[in-house]
Amino acid sequence: MAAKSENCQGQSLLHGKYELGRLLGHGTFAKVYHARNLQTGKNVAMKVVGKEKVIKVGMMEQVKREISVMNMVKHPNIVELHEVMASKSKIYFSMELVRGGELFTRIAKGRLREDVARNYFQQLISAIDFCHSRGVYHRDLKPENLLLDDDGNLKVTDFGLSAFSDHLRQDGLLHTTCGTPAYVAPEVIGKNGYDGAKADLWSCGVILYVLLAGFLPFQDDNLVAMYRKIYRGDFKCPPWFSPESRRLITKLLDPNPNTRITVVKIRDSSWFKKSVPKSVKTKEEQGFDAVNFEDVGKGKETETLNAFHIISLSEGFDLSPLFEEKKRDGKEALRFATTKPASSVISKLEEVAKAKKYSVKKSDSSVRLQGHENGRKGKLAITADIFALAPSFLVVEVTKSSGDTLEYNQFCSKELRPALKDIVWTSPAGSTWLENVLGSSDSDF
C-alpha cells in the first residue's frame, strides 16, 4: 500500500468515538487511516470500505466473511479486529495498528539471514496452524499480507479470500480458485478441489523460499508457463540454502498435496527446531513472569464468598457487573465445591503441574499454572481461585488466563478433571453442590 499523508474526507470524528488522522495506505476497495480511540486513548488502524463499490462488484459476502473470520482468529501473530461499525455508505474496521510495514518491503531490500527467516516462518506457522484449528483457511498468503510490528513480530492480515470449513463441498474440499498466482498451490489451479490447509502450507513454502532467496521459486513472464512449473514443482534452491532448509522447502513445495509435509512434521523438523520459536507474550504471560505470587498471598486468608458471589457462580444469575467495575468477559471457567481444605486443592493442582512440567505460583487462596511450550495461541496459563463458603466447605473456580481455548478445554478434560475428581463434593444423590443450590448443571464435573 502506498503511504501518504491525507486527512479523511468528511467527518473527522467517527461515531463520536474515533478521531481519524492521516491516510496510511489504500487498495482498490478500501482506505486505511490512522485513528485514535478517544475513550481509551489507543491508536488503531481504521479500514474504510465503500459499500456501493463492493456491492457493485459483488464483494459484500467477501467483506462479511472477513469480519466473521477475524472475530474467530484471535492470536498474537494475527492482526486483531477490535470492532466493526457502519454508516449508510461505508463500513469501518477498527483494527490493531501495526507500524512496521509489510514483510514484502523488507524482502525487497534483499534476502534475509537464515535465523531471521526462521523466526518469521515460525511465527507464520503458529498463526496458520491456529487458523486451521478453527477451520479457517487463509488462501492468499504472501509477504504483502504479512505485517511487522515495532518489535519485529509478524502479523498475518487480509482474510478477504479466506474460507471456512462450512464452505467445503460434499467431497470435503474447497473448489474456488483464488490467491496470488506466484504463491498458489498447484491443486488450487486445477478443477478437482483442494484441501485449504495443505494449500496454505504450499504458500508458506513459497514465502520461506522468498525469505531465504530474495526471489520467487516459480518465475516466468508467461503465466501459463509459470503454472506448468508450479504443477511440476519445478524449482531450484540457490547454493547458499542450508541442507536442512532445502529439505524442508522441498517437502513444502511438493506438488502432490497427499504427500506434502504437515504442520506437525514442520514443527518437528530439525531446521524449524534449530532455535526456539519466537512467541509474542500476552499481557497475562508477562504478568505471570512479573508477579511474585507467594508474596502477594502471604498471610492472606482464603477469601469468603458473600451472597452476591454465590449467585454469580451461576452464569444465568451473574450479578457481578452490578458490584464490580469490570466483568471478566470471555473467561473460560469451571467451578466445583469441595469439603477438603484449601491445602489439599493446592496439592492436587501442584501434582497436575508437576506431571505436565508446568510452572506454579501460589498463595493460600489461589494457584496459577503455566505451560512452558507454545501452543496455538501462546503458553497455556490457568488460574484456580479458592473461596470459602464455610470453614469446611470451599468453592473452586478454574479459569483460562491465557492460551488457546481448545487446548484449555482439553487440559481440563484430560488432566484436571481426573486429578480433582476424588475431592469434588457431591450430594448423596450424586448431584454436584451447584446443581443442588442453583438448580442448574453449571458445574463442569
User: Which residues make up each annotated binding site?
Assistant: 51
Residue 210 and residue 433: Cα distance in Å, rounded?
59
Write the CA distances from 314 to 42, 85, 309, 336, integer angstroms.
Answer: 34, 32, 9, 12
Burial of 326 (0-12, 13-18, 19+ CB in 10 A): exposed
Percent helix, strand and coil across the chain, each to the nearest 5: 40, 25, 40
Q: Which triple of cell numbers denotes residue 192?
A: 478437482
Sign of CA dihedral 406, 410, 411, 413: positive
What does 170-222 look like in DSSP terms, one character per residue?
TTS-B----S-GGG--HHHHSSS-B-HHHHHHHHHHHHHHHHHHSS-SS--SS
Q: Which residues are catalytic?
A: 140
Residue 93 and residue 47: Cα distance in Å, rounded?
5
Q: What are phi and psi of 372, to 5 degrees?
A: -100, -20
Identify which of 80, 83, 69, 191 has the alpha carbon closest to the alpha carbon of residue 140: 69
Burial of 439 (0-12, 13-18, 19+ CB in 10 A): exposed
Radius of gyration of the chain (CA): 25
Buried b (16+ CB within 10 A) or exposed e, 135-170: bbbbbbbbbbbbbbbeeebbbbbbbbbbbbeeebee
Q: Which triple of cell numbers denotes residue 283?
A: 499481557
